[in-house]
């Protein structure tokens, strides 16, 4: 059971194992996406169809008929990875051995929907995957296996997601092999060390330049590639603010004495330099709304170079009534 690319990578590892037979695949219903609102196959569904596997996409498991259809497969194990749906106890009771979840954090840290983004935004230096037995409570089941992955200072959530999916798939296959020949250890989570990773709201991706540069760096990394950390820049008082997505860069020199947070200080080391609370943050690439990514020099020539004498050279806050989505 899974939906995005993370789950597809895990499924690919399972399919490549000689010790496991996949009876069926469950994934979220197809949803309209993009500007054209066209339905596109999710990564898990696409992979399952390529391999000729039965695919089911229930809207909910509140229907007893859906639970009965799942039970008809008589699974030994139920594997869940980024499914995106809360499973009732009736579903968790279906497998004869146990329901297993692949979670992208070192539980009990970062239970919830966005463990990777939250870990990066918090400045964590370590993450990992946890294979656990599922219970009704959110990510609270006893742990079977964990593997650690270091977070580099320039790693983005997207980079880590790919690495953790691969690691999770490999650890899961190892877990299933052990389960097949005998029991697996179950270690209860320490309730005093629980933290939660709630779903990322797009408004959280707004860059607050009054924060320390290291925090800004962590936020941008956490929001890359999706939804994209952004700020607003206003070329002139009579013009609308331009929404700009910032790609991850680096912390630069200490804040100049005459600079204020949000000031655009020009180009430094081929990067767009913006003042933060304590230092300058250097951005290599930006994406103005409706445009393709452009490097800092191109942005400076195309936008900053057009500023009149009265144009502000500072970023601005969220426009009134603006929808950051």
User: Residue 307 and residue 242: Cα distance in Å, rounded?
Assistant: 13
Task: Tell whether 142 is in a known binding site.
Answer: no
Query: In terms of domains, do 227 and 162 share one?
Result: no
Query: In terms of domains, do 243 and 121 share one?
Result: no
Give the residue ranges of DSSP H helices in the chain: 5-15, 43-50, 64-71, 89-92, 115-121, 157-181, 213-222, 296-302
Query: In terms of domains, do 111 and 253 share one?
Result: no
Phi, psi of 296 (to 5 degrees): -60, -40
Query: In terms of domains, do 182 and 207 share one?
Result: no
Q: What confidence score (pLDDT) does residue 80 get?
A: 98
Task: Tell whether 300 is in a known binding site.
Answer: no
Q: What confidence score (pLDDT) does residue 183 get?
A: 83
Task: Tell whether 108 is in a known binding site.
Answer: yes
CA dihedral in degrees (2, 4, 10, 13; nearest 10)? 110
Q: Which residues contact 173 (CB under 8 A, 6 or more apart)?
A: 13, 14, 17, 19, 20
Residue 303 in any domain: the answer is yes
Residue 41 in any domain: the answer is yes
Domain that holds residue 100: 5-193
Q: What confidence score (pLDDT) does residue 276 get?
A: 97
**Domain final residue pick, 193, 210, 234:** 193
Residue 321 in any domain: the answer is no
Query: In terms of domains, do 61 and 180 share one?
Result: yes
3-state helix, strand, coil in the chain (%, to 5): 30, 25, 50
Query: In terms of domains, do 127 and 162 share one?
Result: yes
Q: What confidence score (pLDDT) does residue 310 get?
A: 37
Q: What confidence score (pLDDT) does residue 317 get?
A: 66
Number of domains in the chain: 2
Query: In terms of domains, do 123 and 242 share one?
Result: no
Query: In terms of domains, do 140 and 216 share one?
Result: no
- Which CATH number do you get for residue 226? 3.10.25.10
**Domain final residue pick, 136, 171, 193:** 193
Q: Which residues contact 292 (CB under 8 A, 6 or more apart)?
A: none
Residue 325 in any domain: the answer is no
Size of the chain, expressed as the number of residues it contains: 325
Residue 110 near residue 196 (C-beta atoms within 8 A): yes
User: Residue 262 and residue 216: Cα distance in Å, rounded?
Assistant: 12
Residue 9 in any domain: the answer is yes
**Domain final residue pick, 193, 218, 234:** 193
Render each residue's pLDDT in the chain as its tens digit; 325 residues: 999 999 999 999 999 999 899 999 999 998 877 666 777 889 999 999 999 999 999 999 999 999 999 999 999 999 999 999 899 999 999 999 999 999 999 999 999 999 999 999 999 999 999 999 999 999 999 999 999 999 999 999 999 999 999 999 999 999 999 999 888 999 999 999 999 999 999 999 999 999 999 999 999 999 999 999 999 998 778 888 999 999 999 999 999 999 999 999 999 999 999 999 999 999 999 999 999 999 999 999 888 874 433 334 566 666 554 444 4
Residue pointed to by tokens 């930006």: 286
Task: Tell whether 203 is in a known binding site.
Answer: no
Residue 138 has a CB neighbour count (10 Å cut-off) of 11
Q: Which of 136, 137, 146 shows the shortest CA–CA distance to 103?
A: 146
Query: In terms of domains, do 127 and 213 share one?
Result: no
Query: In terms of domains, do 212 and 108 share one?
Result: no
Residue 324 in any domain: the answer is no
Residue 24 in any domain: the answer is yes
Query: In terms of domains, do 46 and 128 share one?
Result: yes
Residue 215 in any domain: the answer is yes
Q: HSE (CB half, 13 Å, CA atoms) of 106?
A: 12
Query: In terms of domains, do 166 and 224 share one?
Result: no
User: Residue 28 and residue 86: Cα distance in Å, rounded?
Assistant: 11
- Which CATH number do you get for residue 11? 3.40.50.170
Q: What confidence score (pLDDT) does residue 40 get?
A: 82
């Amino acid at each position: 059971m899974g939906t995005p690319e993370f789950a597809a990578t895990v499924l690919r590892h399972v399919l490549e194992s000689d010790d496991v037979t996949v009876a069926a695949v469950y994934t979220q219903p197809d949803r309209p996406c993009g500007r054209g609102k066209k339905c596109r196959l999710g990564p898990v569904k696409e992979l399952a169809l390529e391999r000729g596997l039965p695919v089911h996409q229930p809207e909910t498991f509140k229907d007893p008929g859906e639970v009965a259809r799942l039970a008809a497969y008589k699974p030994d194990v139920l594997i869940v990875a980024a499914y995106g749906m809360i499973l009732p106890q009736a579903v968790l009771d279906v497998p004869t051995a146990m329901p297993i979840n692949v979670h992208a954090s070192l539980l009990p840290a970062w239970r919830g929907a966005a463990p990777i983004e939250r870990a990066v935004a918090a400045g964590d230096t370590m993450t990992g995957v946890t294979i656990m037995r599922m219970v009704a409570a959110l990510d609270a089941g006893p742990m079977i296996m964990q593997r650690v992955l270091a977070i580099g200072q320039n790693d983005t959530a997207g980079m880590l997601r790919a690495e953790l999916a691969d690691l999770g798939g490999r650890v899961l296959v190892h877990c299933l092999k052990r389960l097949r020949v005998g029991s697996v250890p179950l270690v209860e989570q320490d309730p005093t060390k629980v933290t939660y990773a709630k779903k990322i709201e797009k408004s959280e991706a707004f860059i607050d330049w009054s924060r320390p540069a290291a925090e800004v760096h962590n936020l941008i990394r956490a929001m890359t590639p999706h939804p994209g950390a952004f700020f607003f820049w206003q070329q002139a008082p009579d013009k609308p603010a331009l929404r700009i997505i910032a790609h991850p860069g680096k912390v630069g020199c200490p804040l100049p004495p005459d600079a204020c947070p949000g000031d655009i200080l020009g180009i430094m080391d081929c990067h767009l330099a913006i003042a933060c609370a304590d230092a300058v943050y250097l951005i290599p690439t930006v994406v103005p709304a409706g445009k393709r990514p452009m490097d800092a020099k191109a942005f400076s020539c195309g936008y900053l170079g057009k500023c009149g004498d009265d144009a502000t050279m500072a970023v601005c806050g969220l426009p009134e009534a603006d929808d950051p989505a």
